[in-house]
Amino acid sequence: MHEQRKSFALTAASIAAGVLTICCSVSLWSGPTAPQRGITAAAEVVSPREAVGPASPPVVPEANPTRKPTGAPAPPAPVLPPPEKIPVRPARVDAEPPPVPPVSLDIPNTSISVNIVEVGVDKNDAMEIPNSFWEAGWYRYGPAPGSESGNAVIAGHVDSQTEVLPFAQLRAVVPGTVITVGLADGRALRYEVTEVRNVPKATLNGSEVFRRDGPAQLKIITCGGKWLPEKGDYEDNVVLTALPL
Amino acid sequence: MRRSLYTVGTVLVMGAAAMAGPASAAETESQASLSVLHAVPDLTVDVYVNGALTLDDFTPGQLAGPLPLPAGNYQLAVTAADAPDASAPVIGPVDVTLEAGGNYTATANLDAAGNPTANFYTNDVSPVEAGKARLTVRHVAAAPAVDVLAGGAPIVPNLSNPGEASLSTAPGTVSAAVAAAGTTEPVIGPADLNLAEGTSTIVYAWGSLEGGNLALATQVIEGLQSTPGAVPGGQSGLAAQSADNDGAALGLGLGALLLGLLGGAVVVNRRRTARA
């Protein structure tokens, strides 16, 4: 079986050539409204434009002050909070210390026991996934495992060009399974699986999966469902949801 | 496609809000957001909005807000800190229009010649591309045109008071400095700026070159992140679930099922080829 799959992969590769190498990276959301990407900072400089200036000449104090400085139509009734209710602070930003990143993921009763690396976004606007068989990626721009709120998102490849990888077992993980995520500071976080389901890629709700607020959850994602040769992609994402214990 | 998905989400959220209380939904829809930056050195002031004292004893380098306000026309006036009312402003009065959903920053600052003035900026709160940070720089200092440098290299050239420039860049910490246009010798900084992914960081160069008190002020608008467009977890199809044993396929529409069968047939054919 293994040999057969290998030869299938090679044959398919020779048939579909580039399509396969594109693999799952076809973005099902990208369309005419997809943002521009891959532009360097220097090239993105927008010419300075004039700020909207004051509507009346600034500076000059009223030579003949009246209680009502202009004859403009009556402004809306003030609904302003009292001064003490308005947040005022120094206009500077103190960088928050980065969260402790996850370094390992173990799911019992599967061979999913991988190192976690930090990933971002690739040139196709897709989440980066490590190529190594023994690694999965944590989306470093979202919450980390252990954050008080939001979804920590970890994703791994379901297959390589030649092999089925451990993440192929993700879809069979049963609710109630306790997952362990190891952090760089040595802590081990435990999560209980509440749901594993196939979500067609065309309907994957990114703003839900990558939610940065709301209840803390762990989302573990790979590909699944049928292989769509014409797209060089799987039809679904397999999305596991787990809650912190 | 992405926009339409978000639109659906927005409609759902609005629907939920409407059920919770129609008034609050309508209110949120018609709100604008106003921040106020004090960028006049050595001057403590009061800020009046529509004649009402809104910021008391506001000191240089401070940022107030964001203040949610109903969309509409407002009059801003900056007075001496001991003024009894808004009748004798030192800056303004300035009439501004806040549009529903708009995000604005009003600055009390010096013009290029060193006179107190006010500026009214519209903040870009459109989504930031996934994996990027937005940086906006505004010149509100009594100083000639400047170059803004990151890591010693100009990223915004020749910016004049009260101009602004915006760019999208990789998130992370940059060493930012401001130099006279065409030079690289800093008149402000270098200072570390942390540009967080999915946020807009607005940096103001303020103060006075002549007064020797040029400085940077920073405002951050969070929550502008986009999500990755896909999670590409597969490479070859070797882990495909076949149509035969995938019960979920039964739940799909007939068209999708047919597509699935066709896809399966292709796979079977290829496997036969592979065996041969």
Domains and CATH numbers, chain B: 31-123 (2.60.40), 127-228 (2.60.40)
> Dihedral of the CA atoms B70, B74, B80, B86 (nearest 10)?
-110
B 58-117 residues with CB < 8 A to A = 58, 61-65, 67, 69-70, 72-75, 77, 85-96, 111, 115-117
The answer on pLDDT for B118 being more than 70 is yes
pTM score: 0.74
Average pLDDT, chain B: 82
Pick among B231, B261, B268 to test the A interface (most A CBs inside 10 A) = B231
Q: What's the gap in Å between the CA of A147 and the closest CA on chain B?
A: 17
Least confident window among A46-50, B109-113, B207-211, B219-223: A46-50
Residue A56: closest CA among chain B residues belongs to which residue? B94
The whole-angstrom separation of Cα B78 and Cα B147 is 30
The answer on pLDDT for A15 being more than 80 is no
Question: A149 — contact with chain B (CB < 8 Å)?
Answer: no
The whole-angstrom separation of Cα B32 and Cα B100 is 5
pLDDT at B249: 35
ipTM over the 0.95 cut-off: no
Q: Which residue has the higher pLDDT, B157 or A82?
A: B157
- Mean pLDDT, rounded, for B98-119: 96
Pick among B43, B123, B227 to test the A interface (most A CBs inside 10 A) = B227
- Provide the total of helices (H) and of strands (E) in chain A, helices listed first: 3, 9
B 142-161 residues with CB < 8 A to A = 150, 153, 155-160
Question: A129 — contact with chain B (CB < 8 Å)?
Answer: yes
Question: Looking at the DSSP assignment, which residues form a beta bridge with residue A52?
Answer: B120
Question: A106 — contact with chain B (CB < 8 Å)?
Answer: no
Question: A59 — contact with chain B (CB < 8 Å)?
Answer: yes
Judge: B235–A59 Cβ closer than 8 Å, yes or no. Answer: no
Judge: B236–A212 Cβ closer than 8 Å, yes or no. Answer: no
The whole-angstrom separation of Cα B155 and Cα B214 is 19
Judge: B228–A8 Cβ closer than 8 Å, yes or no. Answer: no
Judge: B93–A56 Cβ closer than 8 Å, yes or no. Answer: yes
Judge: A36–B129 Cβ closer than 8 Å, yes or no. Answer: yes
What are the structure tokens assigned to B14, written together? 């609005």
Judge: B270–A26 Cβ closer than 8 Å, yes or no. Answer: no
Q: What's the gap in Å between the CA of A77 and the closest CA on chain B?
A: 8
Q: What percent of chain B has pLDDT over 70?
A: 77
Judge: A226–B96 Cβ closer than 8 Å, yes or no. Answer: no
Q: Which residue has the higher pLDDT, B98 or B25?
A: B98
CB pairs under 8 A between A and B: 363
The answer on pLDDT for B45 being more than 80 is yes
To the nearest 10 degrees (0 to 180), the angle between helices B22-29 and B2-20 is 130
pLDDT at A133: 80
What are the structure tokens assigned to A190, written together? 């435990």
The answer on pLDDT for A215 being more than 90 is yes
Residues, chain A, total? 245
Judge: B131–A141 Cβ closer than 8 Å, yes or no. Answer: yes
Question: A86 — contact with chain B (CB < 8 Å)?
Answer: yes
**List of domains in chain A:** 2-24+99-244 (2.40.260.10)
Judge: A76–B72 Cβ closer than 8 Å, yes or no. Answer: yes
- Strand pairing of B133-142 and A88-90? unpaired
Evaluated on CA atoms A28, A31, A37, A38, the torsion sign reads: positive
Question: B207 — contact with chain A (CB < 8 Å)?
Answer: no
The whole-angstrom separation of Cα B114 and Cα B71 is 32
The whole-angstrom separation of Cα B238 and Cα B111 is 65
Residue B73 binned pLDDT confidence (cut-offs 50, 70, 90): very high
Yes or no: say if B138 and A51 are a contact pair by the CB < 8 Å rule: yes
A 1-20 residues with CB < 8 A to B = 4-5, 7-13, 15, 20
Pick among A47, A122, A141, A196 to test the B interface (most B CBs inside 10 A) = A141
Burial-class residue B230 by CB neighbours within 10 Å (0-12, 13-18, 19+). buried
pLDDT at B10: 36
Residue A204: closest CA among chain B residues belongs to which residue? B230
